[in-house]
Amino acid sequence: PRELFERNCWISFEPVEGSLSVLADYIGPHKILWATDYPHPDGFFPGAPDLIAKRPELSAETKRQILAGGAARFYALV
């Protein structure tokens, strides 16, 4: 059920995924954990945070949640 997913699951993504705004609208940006794939050669490092920060379709709050808020909640830091 949806309640179990909302309570127990987070979604990871690559910074270049085009459906990020749809995902944020659907599950909430606080349930998204971004990934760089570092140190893999096909990773997005350095510069992965910039790929999110420069996305015009995402609000400043959505970007904050994706880049920091989701991880803070996942690790129970807030």
**Residue 4: which pLDDT band, with cuts at 50, 70 and 90?**
very high
**Per-residue pLDDT, 44:** 66
pLDDT > 90 in the chain, percent: 53
- DSSP of 17-68, one letter per residue? -TTHHHHHHHH-GGGEEE---TTSTTS-TTTHHHHHHT-TTS-HHHHHIIII
**What is the reported pTM?**
0.81
> At residue 26, does pLDDT exceed 70?
yes
